[in-house]
Structure 1
Amino acid sequence: MSKGANVGLMALSEDATSVRVGLGWSSETGGGDADVSVLFLGEKGKVRSDADFFFYNNPTAADGSVQLLGKTPTDSGSEDRISLDLSVVPPDVAQIIVAASRDEGERFGDLDGLRLTVCDGAGEALLGFSIEDAGVESAFVFAEFYRRGDEWKFRAVGQGYESGLAGLAMDFGIDVDDSVDEVADEDPAVIPAQQTVSSGEERPAEALKETVETAQSAETAQAAVPVPAAEPAAEPAEEAPPQVRRPRTVRKKVTLPKVAKKSLAENDTWRQARLFPVPALKSDRERETRATSVLLSVMAQIPEFGRRLTAGFGAPAGRMETFAEVSLPHGDARKRPDGVIRVERAGKLWTALVETKTNGNPFKDQQVQDYLDIAARRGYEAVITLGNDVALEGSPLVDVKIDGRRKHKVVLWHLSWAEVAHQAQLLIRHEGVGNAAHAWLLQELLHYLQHENSGCHGFQNMGPAWVPVRRGIDDETLSQGDTRAVEVVESWERLVRQVCLRLGGELGQKVLPVQRVRRATDSQARRRELADVLCRDGRLGAELRIEGAQGILAITADLRTGKLRTSIEVPAPEQGYPLTWAKRLIRQLADAPADVHVQTLLAGQDDGPRGTLERLRPEPADLLPRGEGEITGFRLSLFKGMGSTRGNAESGFIRSVDDAVDRFYGTVVTPLERAPGRAR
């Protein structure tokens, strides 16, 4: 669509009451980020109240009409997604503004491929709108949905703001309060807000149970206190005006609670009783059955969690019920999908069949095809595959055919166990859920998913091409164009995306793989190019953008040397002297491993002074160039031997990548983030 154009949604799809909006962008440098936001406007073009502002500090409407689904990597960069259920938008909302913003000092003109897309409830793309003339703007109104009688229409807007998200919000009547730099976790971003409970990264389940017990004890004690006799009423004091908190576009700072008290167990052999025991699981069938039942039951009991997992699949926000091992007719036989998810909203039902795999087992094409046919005949909306693999664009996990002649559309979606664990971590450790009991239940689910017997550990196998490709690199017999190298590149991409999910869940911050690609690059062509690099250089590489980090975290797997390198480039301070910079950097890394490599980056030069922390700690001046050269920054690197096997065993390549990233982030990146004067 062109700027200013409009169209009625019902003219595009019969299933346009629930839509998914995506804002995508790309960058040849791999840098840059943006955040979506949504505003509800009344007839006068202003918000009805500050609660009509949905953004990163207030991502979900209580009625489920708006959900910010977060960012996801795409083949050409990143996409930030929104779920809009237009059927439950309050009747006094006349317009829905879809906007995006960048952090202070960043401009949209530095991003490429700015594009908004709208998909219907079945996941089919309806329209797109690109912004080609972005410049100094730090916020944009991309589009609006507006009512015309009983119909919703879409208009491409493309209006920019140099005043950022705060200026955009105030233009629509939001009373923004950005008077402080940090917002405590207990301080809601917008009023009214739901009270939440966060378990904390190091807070085990018993601490949550203790919270519940303490609250119950307090209620009991309060009930037991005698009520004193009434005293004569005093003159009523003049009531102070209520304190109304205003929305803050400054990102909330998550404050983790203190570590729980010491366990009451007599010794380490005492094992806490678990809600979902896993030691007895032996066969793959037992794992699949147990994992499906456990997950679906938790989704039904914790609305925030169930809605988080299904909103991206087009499910409405409503009452959810889940079922396991349901028998459904299929021709002369009966089929038994692992689970069924059903959501009811305003008398309408949304239904999805679920097929589960654990322990790295692959999906069977014909089995998934049968479920798609059953869903189409029965009027169900979706089939969801749930397994260890991470889905990639242009590389489907199952080969099925969808009959386009059928009026009723059924969509095939994929959900990885890594995504399930990621969403559970975000809720209980960083964002919070409705009450302590729900937080404890999610903690138990997370413990189950991470147990070695559950089979739900996410992507676990580099595939059958891994060993032949490594051997071909070792003996120099691997040629460019080898299809096995493309398979390894795809497995590497799945692994990197899973690392992002796991690390992002633990940190409570966005972690995305950096895509340094040209706009509209074909996914398979890009993977073939990377496969040729692997054949030529014997290396796999990736970069992770971590919110709050001082730079891009790079991972390089050198298959020739068997070494993993994790690194980050830290820019030089804008003020001060080079020797002061070097001393401060070494001081910040006081607890980092002695074998961390530090290299000085010089403008226009590839090779600056370098050394290990062990050598540099007594002599930080060794980082200074001996001759002419402008210091632009420092590169910090850590090397580790990589696993030899393709799987996730202790000796496996996947485990070694996880360990390398965790060690580097915890010992090198985190001290830099916590250093005085650096924003976290």
Structure 2
Amino acid sequence: MIKGSNVSLGALSEDTGSVLVSLGWGSPTGEGDADVSVLLLDQNGKVRSDTDFYFYNNPVAADGSVQLLGKTPTAHGDEDRISFDLTAVPSDVERIVVAASRYGEARFGELEDVRLTLADGAGEDLLHFAIDDADSVSAIIFGELYRRAEAWKFRAVGQGYATGLAGLATDFGVDIEDDAAAVEAQARESAAADDRADRPAPDPAPTPAPAEETDGRPSAPPTPETAVPAPRRSEDEAGRKKPAARPRTAKKKVTLPKVVKKPLAENDSWRPARLFPVSSLKSDRDRETRATSVLLSVMAQVPEFGRRLTAAFGAPAGRMETFTEVTLPHGDTPRRPDGVIRVERAGKLWTALVETKTNGNALKSDQVQAYMDIAARRGYEAVITVSNDVALEGSPLVDVKVDRRRKHKVGLWHLSWAEVAHQAQLLIRHEGVGNAAHAWLLQELLHYLQHDNSGCHGFQNMGPAWVPVRNGIDDETLCQGDLRALEVVESWERLVRQVCLGLGGELGQKVLPVQRTKRGTDPGARRSGLADRLCADGKLQAELRIEGTPGVLTVTADLRTGKLRTSIEIPAPGQGYPLSWAKRLVRHLSDAPADLHVETLVEGETGGPRGTLERLRPEPADLLPKDGTTRVTGFRLSLLKSMGSTRGNAETGFIRSVDDAVHRFYTTVVIHLDRTTPRQGPSRENTTTSA
């Protein structure tokens, strides 16, 4: 599409009750980023209320019509996805604006390949819109969905805003909170509440206090363990109505629970009773059957979780029921998919067949093909595969044939167990669910998935090419073009994505692999180039961008030396003196490992002074160039450790050693560094929104 053009969604596909909009961009440095937002507008072109503004602080509509699904890496950069259930959009909403924004002094002109893609409920791309003239703007309206005669159309807009997210939202009637300090006050209030909850609670008041509102959302009702009486208010205070919270465009801070309560067990041999036990699992079939039932039952009982996992697959927001071991006719031999998901909304059914694998077992193409055929014949919408493997762009896990002559289209989607655990972690540890029972169910699910005996603990095998490639690198017989090197590169990419999911779920922050590729680069060609580099220098390398950190975290596996290096480069501050920078850095790293390597980055040279933290602690000045004239541009921090030798996920395996190295580096080094400047918009940029 070109700017200003429009098209009817019904003319492109018959499956547009739900659509998936993806906003994407790339960056030459791999560090460029933006966030998406959605506004629901009435016939006057304004939001009906502040809650019609959906962004990182308000990502999900209560009716399921809008859900921000977060970022996913692609071959060309990042892609931010939004799920729309158009059948659930209120009748008085005329237009849906889709936008994205950057922070502070960042502008869209620094990004490349800025684009929008819209797909139907089966995942088939319907339209593309590229924005080539983004320059000095910090926010862009990519496009809008709008109603015409009870049908939905899409218009390519491409309009830029120099006033950022806050300015864009204000133009559409959102009342922005201009007090940025309120975010800090909220964090302090939350911390104080934790302190009060740790103290013994006084006798409860005869009448419980009404639930307070935080950021415009009602909080969960108090439980007997945490309830404290509300402070007595004067008559004047009681008579004053609390003003409604206004949106803040600064990101909300999540305060995690403090210390876990001391268990009542007499000793460590006592094990708590689990809702989903794993001790009795003896065979792969047992693991597969129980894992399917556990996952599907929790999806049905915790609406936030079920919706989170299925929204990207085109499922509407509605009543969900799940089933296992269903028998469906298929020729002479009936088929029994591992599970079925059904969602009912307004009398219409959305159905997906589920095929599950655990313990590293591979999906079978003939099985998935049979389920695709059954789904097409019976009018089902999707087939969802779940396994330990992580899907890569342009490299499908299973090959299936789609009969294009069939009018009904079926979407084929994949979930890794690591993604399932990631979504559960985000909900219970950072975003919250409807009630305490739902949180407990998700916690039990997470405990089950992470147990070694469940078979669901993620990608766990570097593949049969791992040992031959390592041997070939050791004896220098591995040649460029060897397909086994390509297999190892693909496995490495899957491992890195899984590490990002695990760390992101724990932190509640975006953790994404950096893709440094030119626009239009084919994913297969990119991986072939990495395979040739592996043959030449014997190294696998990946870069991770963690939201809020001052640099990109680099992981390098040197297969020649058997060492893993995790590192981060910190740019020098814009003001001050090098000696002050060195002292401050060493002071911030007071709790970091003594064997941390610190290297000074200098202008025009390959490297400056370096040393271990143990040696530099008494003399930070040793980090400065001796001539006193060379300009210091930053510092590189690195940790080295031995990598696992086997291809699997055992204690001595390569996969676990990489995961442990990244987590150790972040928790012992990166967490102590100065955070990046809080993201702000330009003129109202000290604003933040909470909806």
Q: Distance in 2 between matches of 1:4 and 1:578?
A: 52
- SS of 1:551's partner is coil
Q: Distance in 1 between matches of 2:237 and 2:33?
A: 51
1:508 offset after TM fit, Å?
A: 0.2
Q: CA deviation at 1:135?
A: 1.1
Alignment of 1:362 onto 2:386: no
Aligned to 1:670: 671
8 Å CA contact 1:189–1:246 kept in 2: the answer is no
Cα distance in structure 2, aligned partners of 1:386 and 1:375: 17
Superimposed CA distance per residue, residues 261-296 of structure 1 (whole angstroms, 9 cap, x where no aligned partner):
211111111111111110111100000000000000
Alignment of 1:618-657 (within 5 A): 618-627=618-627, 628-657=629-658
CA distance in 1, matches of 2:357, 2:638: 37
Distance 2:602 2:505 in 1: 35
Q: What's the CA shift string for 1:514-534, capped at 9, x where partnerless? A: 000000110000000000000
- The Cα shift of 1:123 comes to 0.7
1:532-543 matches, within 5 Å, as 532-543=532-543
Q: Indicate the SS of the match to 2:165.
A: helix
* Mapped contact 2:57–2:251 kept (Cα < 8 A): yes
1:241 CA displacement: 4.1
Q: Compared with structure 1, are the counterparts of its residues 575 and 196 closer, same or farther at alpha carbon in structure 2 (3 Å cutoff)?
A: farther
Q: Give the secondary structure class of the aligned counterpart of 2:663.
A: helix
Do the aligned residues in 1 keep the contact of 2:600 with 2:623 (CA within 8 Å)?
A: yes
Q: Would you say the 8 A contact 2:549–2:675 is kept in 1?
A: no
Q: Tell me if structure 1 keeps the 8 A contact 2:42–2:93.
A: yes
- 1:476 paired to 2:476: yes
Figure out how many residues of one structure are paired with residues of the other and give that number.
651
Structure 2 Cα separation of the partners of residues 178 and 298 of structure 1: 40
Cα distance 1:51–1:662, how it changes in 2: closer, same or farther (>3 A)? same
Residue 32 of structure 1 aligns to which amino acid in structure 2?
A: G
Contact 1:480 1:532 (8 Å CA) reproduced:
yes
CA deviation string 1:203-239 (max 9, x = no partner): xxxxxxxx74537x999xx9xxxxxxxxxxx999994
Q: CA deviation at 1:674?
A: 6.5
Residue 639 (structure 1) shift: 0.4
Gaps of 5+ in 2: 191-211, 681-691
User: What secondary structure does 1:335 align onto?
Assistant: coil
**Structure 2 match to 1:499:** 499
Query: Alpha-carbon deviations, 1:596-615, whole Å to 9, x = none?
Result: 10000111211211111011
Structure 1 letter corresponding to 2:499: V
The offset of 1:260, in angstroms, is 3.0
For 2:439, the equivalent position in structure 1 comes to 439
In the alignment, what sits opposite 1:71?
Answer: 71
TM-score normalised over the length of structure 1: 0.93
**Equivalent residue number for residue 336 of structure 1:** 336
Aligned to 2:508: 508
- 1:408: how far off? 0.8
1:17-52: CA deviations, max 9, x gaps? 211000011122111111110000111111111010
Query: How much has 1:126 moved relative to structure 2?
Result: 0.7
CA distance in 1 between counterparts of 2:410 and 2:12 reads: 17
Q: Decide which moves more: 331-340 or 416-425.
A: 331-340
Mapped partners of 2:238, 2:274: distance in 1 = 53
Three-state SS of the structure 2 residue aligned to 1:214 is coil
Query: Match of 1:453, SS?
Result: helix
Q: Which residue identity lines up with residue 162 of structure 1 in the other structure?
A: A
Equivalent residue, structure 1, for 2:565: 565
The 3-state SS of whatever aligns with 2:478 is coil
User: Residue 683 of structure 2 aligns with which residue?
Assistant: none
Q: What amino acid sits opposite 1:470 in the alignment?
A: R
Partner SS for 2:454:
coil
Distance 2:237 2:552 in 1: 58
How far off is 1:591 after superposition? 1.0
Q: Distance in 2 between matches of 1:178 and 1:572?
A: 31
Summarize the alignment of residues 123-522 of structure 1 with structure 2, pairs less than 5 Å apart: 123-181=123-181, 182=183, 184=186, 191=216, 193-195=217-219, 212-214=223-225, 239-522=239-522
Q: Which amino acid aligns with 2:219?
A: Q
Distance 2:237 2:280 in 1: 65
1:348 partner letter: K
Judged with a 3 Å threshold, the aligned counterparts in structure 2 of structure 1 residues 378 and 177 are, in CA distance, closer, same or farther, namely same
Aligned residues of 2:646 and 2:654 also touching (Cα < 8 A): yes
Counterpart of 1:671, as a letter, is H
Letter in 2 for 1:501: L
| 2:260 partner amino acid | A
Q: Which amino acid aligns with 2:539?
A: R
Q: Deviations over 1:41-69 (max 9, x none)?
A: 11111111101000000000000000000
Higher RCO (CA-CA < 8 Å; seq separation 6+): 2
- Checking the alignment, whether the CA contact within 8 Å between 1:469 and 1:478 is kept in structure 2 is yes
Residue 180 (structure 1) shift: 2.1
CA distance, structure 1, for counterparts of residue 679 and residue 109 of structure 2? 24
The 3 A distance-change label for structure 1 pair 196 and 568 is farther
Quote the residue 1:37 is aligned against.
37
* Counterpart-to-counterpart distance in 2, 1:134 and 1:631: 34
| 1:208 aligned partner | none
Preserved contact between residue 196 and residue 432 of structure 1 (Cα < 8 Å): no
Query: By how many angstroms is 1:196 displaced?
Result: 5.3
SS of equivalent to 2:600:
strand
Quote the Cα distance in structure 2 between the aligned partners of 1:40 and 1:655: 45
In the TM superposition, residue 444 of structure 1 has moved relative to its aligned partner by 0.5
* SS of the residue 1:490 aligns to: helix
Q: Which residue number corresponds to residue 598 of structure 1?
A: 598
State the TM-score, normalized to the length of structure 2. 0.92
Question: Aligned in 2, Cα 1:25/1:367: closer, same or farther, shift over 3 Å?
Answer: same
Report what 2:198 is aligned to: none
DSSP 3-state at the match of 2:669: helix
Matched letter for residue 107 of structure 1: R
Residues 236 and 432 from structure 1, CA distance in 2 versus in 1: closer, same or farther, beyond 3 angstroms? closer
Larger deviation: 600-609 or 528-537?
Answer: 600-609
Is contact 2:23–2:115 with CA below 8 Å preserved after alignment?
yes
In structure 1, what is the Cα distance between the partners aligned to 2:424 and 2:630? 49
Between 378-387 and 257-266, the greater mean CA deviation after superposition: 257-266
Distance 1:491 1:189, change over 3 A: farther
Contact 1:18 1:86 in 2 (8 A): yes
Identify unmatched segments of 5+ residues in structure 1.
Answer: 198-210, 223-233
CA contact (8 A) 1:51 1:190 kept: no
Range with greater deviation from structure 2 (180-189 or 370-379): 180-189
User: Aligned pair in 2 of structure 1 residues 452, 238: CA closer, same or farther (>3 Å)?
Assistant: closer
Q: CA 1:188–1:479 in 2, change beyond 3 Å: closer, same or farther? A: farther
For residues 67 and 661 of structure 1, the distance between their equivalents in structure 2, rounded to whole angstroms, comes to 30
Following superposition, the deviation at residue 568 of structure 1 comes to 0.3
The residue aligned with 1:21 is 21
How much has 1:256 moved relative to structure 2? 1.3
Decide whether the 8 Å contact of 1:25 with 1:79 is kept in 2.
yes
Work out the CA distance in 1 between the residues paired with 2:379 and 2:630.
69
Equivalent-residue separation in structure 1 for 2:235 and 2:57 (angstroms):
42
Aligned 8 A contact 2:121 2:411 in 1: no
Alignment check: 8 A CA contact 1:178 1:250 kept: no
Aligned partner of residue 22 in structure 2, secondary structure = strand
Distance 1:604 1:524 in 2: 35
Could you give the per-residue CA deviations for residues 423-472 of structure 1, whole angstroms, max 9, x where no partner exists?
00000000000011111110010000001100001100000111000000
**Using the alignment, how far apart are the partners of 1:476 and 1:463 within structure 2?**
21
| TM superposition shift of 1:363 | 0.9
Question: Which residue in the other structure is 1:587 paired with?
Answer: 587
TM-aligned CA distance change 1:11 to 1:194, over 3 Å:
farther
Q: Residue type of the partner of 2:647? A: R
Instruction: Give the aligned residue type for 1:605.
Output: E
State the Cα deviation string for residues 624-679 of structure 1 (Å, max 9, x = none).
Answer: 0112311111000000100000000011000000110011001100011469x999
Contact kept, 8 Å, 1:95 with 1:144, in 2: the verdict is yes
Deviations 1:390-444 (A, max 9, x none): 0001111112111111111111110000000000000000000001111111001
The answer to whether the Cα contact below 8 Å between 1:601 and 1:634 also exists between their aligned partners in 2 is: yes
Give, in whole Å, the separation in 2 of the partners of 1:286 and 1:171.
57
